[in-house]
Amino acid sequence: MTVFAQTNSATLKSRQILKERLDAIKEERKQKIEEFKEKIAAIKDERKKALVEKIVEKISNSNERLTARMSAALARLSSILKNLSEKAANLKASGKDTSELEKAISQAETAIEEAKSAVAAQAEKKYSANLINDSTLRNAIGEMISQFRKDLRDAHKKVAAARQAISKAVAELAQLGGVRNSATQSGNMD
């Protein structure tokens, strides 16, 4: 079985598409923020206005913090994947059949790229409620918070899938004998 890695042109093309999509999201976000500010100005009660702004700010800060954590996790997974690729190359050079390992590594690369794309898109999102009047304020804010949680959960699922793909690749490497000491073996050396 032959496994082909993505070429640089395919990677560059996917990055270009991602960049264009993120630019479109940024423009849409700016529009939504302007519309949201206009709608907030329509709220008559100053206490409610301050509360809505505080909730939106809190969601924005949470989104920024959580997507930064997911990005850091993906960076660590990419580093692990790089090490796996190097070990796979060494095993292949020593004459071992690494086709299953290469397949697992390829799947992990794809999962990481999908997760990076999802996290980048999530990081660019800004949330605003569809404020019509004071009476619908509570429902609008609730829907905004629910949407934020759903979007964050979806991005997290992509990161978890990437982590699972890396685990599968590590398991394949272990089956080939590419892991020197497991955690339990090195812990029992005392």
Residue-range definition of the domain harbouring residue 86: 13-178
99: left (phi over 0), alpha (psi -120 to 50) or beta: alpha
Least confident interval from 138-142, 143-147, 154-158, 176-180: 176-180
Q: How confident is the model at residue 64 (pLDDT cuts 50, 70, 90)?
A: very high
Q: How confident is the model at residue 67 (pLDDT cuts 50, 70, 90)?
A: very high
Return the pLDDT at 188: 40
Does residue 1 lie within any of the structural domains?
no
* Mean pLDDT computed over 10-39: 78
Does residue 5 lie within any of the structural domains?
no
Number of domains into which the chain is organized: 1
Reported as a single tens digit per residue, the pLDDT across 111-141 is 999 999 999 999 999 888 777 677 778 888 8
For 9, 60, 167, 185, 186, the CA distances from 174, given in Å and listed in that order, are: 32, 42, 10, 13, 15
Does residue 7 lie within any of the structural domains?
no
Highest mean predicted confidence (pLDDT) among 6-10, 122-126, 153-157: 153-157
Share of the chain above pLDDT 90, in %: 44
Does residue 190 lie within any of the structural domains?
no
Residue 15 has, within 13 A of its CA and on its CB side, a CA count of 7
Does residue 189 lie within any of the structural domains?
no
Q: Give dist(CA 42, CA 78) in Å, integer.
A: 47
Does residue 45 lie within any of the structural domains?
yes
Return the pLDDT at 186: 39
**Count of helix runs (H) and strand runs (E) in the chain:** 5, 0
